Amino acid sequence: MSASNPVRVGVIGTGGMGTRHALNIHRYVGGATLAGVFDVDVPRATKVAAEGGGAVVFPTPEALIADDRVDAVLIASPDEMHAGMVRACLAAGKPVLCEKPLATSVAEATAIVEAEVALGRRLIAVGYMRRFDAAHLAVKAVADSGEIGAPVMFKGVHRNAEADYGITPAAVVVNSAGHDLDSARWMTGEEVVSARVFGLRTRDDLHPVTRDLLLINLVLSHGRHAVTEMDVNAGYGYEVSAELVCQAGTAHTGQTDRVIVRGHANRGTPVAADWLDPFQEAYVAEIHDWIGSIVAGRPFAGASAWDGLATALTAAACIESIATGGEARALPGVVPGGDVRRRAQRGPLAALRPATLLCGEGALRTAGRRYAIGGGGGGCGQPGGRSSAAATGRSAATGRSAAAGASPATHACGAARATATFGARRRRARRPSRSTTTRISRTTMAPTRAASRS
Ligand code: ISE
């Protein structure tokens, strides 16, 4: 595919996000055209198709995915429909950029990773657009350079103006805080070990089930931490910021404000109503890279299916923590020698073994951080093809081994909790006790004893 032979993209879902993507493809992404759209709201889809250069309006998502006039698919449908549509794209052998989340349950996310591995081609990209935001990339670059030491803590603030009445804690975690869960992993290069989340209801007139202010605490591998304030009823507008507290300094995205306005006896900066404008450049960069990855046959630089699964696991722990009030392990059951290892050895996840995931405190950790599908060789959780300190499993600042003490041969883990569904079940009974899992020494940052479960 080339400028004269562009990638023909079909967009499923023409709500706010899908419309933005569709028109971005039409207007700003060289090498791609908007070939088709689908939406249950046919007049809306028809309008976007016309504004997008005369794209075909398909009657069903299945028709769009199967059609020969569509080379690649962008999914921007409601969250719970993502997994099935991604699977359909895999079945059709078409590259897919799925808006976050990849899936709304660990079971679905696991099945998707397994299907991609079985296919042997890396076709899935997940739309965590902050990975393409200049400010987030700049903060990560400072940390990766080691000039202010290694990151010890991620601090996120994520606010939405207003949430739907009756929004559930699970929806807030999966749909909104998923960004922060992904950022914590991506920016620190660590994996999530456990979650402790306080869910607050900020006003009495909200639905009793609502927890609109989440205080999210994540324990990361190697004794690192992440804290995030997720407020979906901030009342005033949309804001996101991320800070990496490092060993010898901090790096912060600041706010996305670009103008100072003086007037009406005031000096200030406007706050955006939603995420579409603040992250417009990131959305374009994301699709640009996605199209480039399809044309060049290289891995997408953003989140992979594996990252989608990792976020699903963390989200499930957050939801469990809100429900129980306690700490929830992000990877319960993933212990060296545990059932996941056995599964990984005989099932489709066996293909991940060369890229073996190491478990310290149950965290995912790759040796060399590769999960190679079809020779794609992109980093697990790392922008594919880029080399970074984390991509080599080594901190630039400390030179410590990311998986010190763990052996790829004996510490394989993969997709845990394949049967879990967000918020639906309690897994405490099946979870190994803390005494059976590897502990991380806070001083050496290395696992101090191997777990004995098998
Ligand atoms: C939305 O889908 C987003 O991606 C926004 O970044 C997030 O702030 C919002 O809560 C989500 O609904």
- pLDDT per residue over 378-419, tens digit each? 223 222 322 333 332 333 333 333 222 222 222 222 222 222
**Gap from CA of 29 to ligand 1 centroid (Å):** 23
For residue 275 and ligand 1, the question of a CB distance below 6 A is answered with yes
For residue 175 and ligand 1, the question of a CB distance below 6 A is answered with yes
**CB–CB of 51/73 below 8 Å?**
no
**Gap from CA of 143 to ligand 1 centroid (Å):** 26
**Gap from CA of 433 to ligand 1 centroid (Å):** 35
- Taking the C-alpha atoms of residue 418 and residue 329, their distance in angstroms, rounded to an integer, is 15
**CB–CB of 274/120 below 8 Å?**
no
pLDDT in tens, 46-84: 999 999 999 999 999 999 999 999 999 999 999 999 999
**Gap from CA of 58 to ligand 1 centroid (Å):** 26
Ligand 1 atom nearest residue 232's Cα: 10
Beta bridge partners of 354: none
**Gap from CA of 355 to ligand 1 centroid (Å):** 32
**Gap from CA of 240 to ligand 1 centroid (Å):** 10
- Taking the C-alpha atoms of residue 4 and residue 249, their distance in angstroms, rounded to an integer, is 48
Ligand 1 atom nearest residue 158's Cα: 8
Ligand 1 atom nearest residue 240's Cα: 8
**CB–CB of 121/373 below 8 Å?**
yes
Q: Whose CA is nearest to atom 6 of ligand 1?
A: 275
Q: Whose CA is nearest to atom 9 of ligand 1?
A: 176
- Taking the C-alpha atoms of residue 199 and residue 169, their distance in angstroms, rounded to an integer, is 8
For residue 128 and ligand 1, the question of a CB distance below 6 A is answered with no
Q: 180, 108, 160, 173: which is closest to 322 by C-alpha?
A: 173
Q: What is the pLDDT of residue 257?
A: 63
By 3-state DSSP, what share of the chain in percent is helix, strand and coil, each rounded to 5?
35, 20, 45
- Taking the C-alpha atoms of residue 396 and residue 210, their distance in angstroms, rounded to an integer, is 42
Domain 7-129+280-296 has CATH 3.40.50.720: yes
Which part of the chain is CATH 3.40.50.720?
A: 7-129+280-296
Which part of the chain is CATH 3.30.360.10?
A: 131-268
Q: Kindly provide the b/e burial profile for residues 227-263, where b requires at least 16 CB atoms within 10 angstroms of the residue's own CB.
A: bbbbbbbbeeebbbbbbbbbeeebbebeebeeeeeee
Q: Whose CA is nearest to atom 3 of ligand 1?
A: 176
- Cα atoms in the 13 Å half-sphere on the side-chain side of 65: 22
For residue 160 and ligand 1, the question of a CB distance below 6 A is answered with yes
Q: Whose CA is nearest to atom 1 of ligand 1?
A: 176
Which residues have a Cβ under 8 Å from the Cβ of 414 and sit 6 or more positions away?
334, 340, 341, 343, 344, 349, 352, 357
**Gap from CA of 275 to ligand 1 centroid (Å):** 7
First to last CA, the chain: 49
Low-confidence ranges of the chain (pLDDT < 70): 1-3, 255-257, 331-454
For residue 176 and ligand 1, the question of a CB distance below 6 A is answered with yes
**Gap from CA of 259 to ligand 1 centroid (Å):** 23
**Gap from CA of 278 to ligand 1 centroid (Å):** 12
Q: Whose CA is nearest to atom 11 of ligand 1?
A: 176
Q: What is the pLDDT of residue 3?
A: 56
**Token reading at 113:** 């990773």
| Four-point Cα dihedral 31, 19, 159, 167, nearest 10 | -130
**Gap from CA of 176 to ligand 1 centroid (Å):** 5
- Helix 106-119, helix 305-324: angle, nearest 10: 170
- Taking the C-alpha atoms of residue 415 and residue 257, their distance in angstroms, rounded to an integer, is 39
**Gap from CA of 20 to ligand 1 centroid (Å):** 14
| DSSP class per residue in 1-49 | --SSS-EEEEEE--SHHHHHHHHHHHHH-TTEEEEEEE-SSHHHHHHHH
How many Cβ atoms sit within 10 Å of the Cβ of residue 80? 14
Q: 378, 392, 254, 308: which is closest to 108 by C-alpha?
A: 308
Q: What is the pLDDT of residue 283?
A: 98
Q: Whose CA is nearest to atom 4 of ligand 1?
A: 176
For residue 233 and ligand 1, the question of a CB distance below 6 A is answered with no
Tell me phi and psi for residue 107, to 5 degrees.
-60, -45
**Gap from CA of 175 to ligand 1 centroid (Å):** 6
- Confidence (pTM): 0.77
**CB–CB of 123/161 below 8 Å?**
no
Edge-first strand order for the sheet with 124-127 is 56-57, 32-38, 7-12, 72-75, 96-99, 124-127
Domain 131-268 has CATH 3.40.50.800: no
Ligand 1 atom nearest residue 160's Cα: 8
Residue in 136, 274, 275 to alter for ligand 1 test, most ligand atoms within 8 A of Cβ: 275
Residue in 129, 173, 176, 256 to alter for ligand 1 test, most ligand atoms within 8 A of Cβ: 176
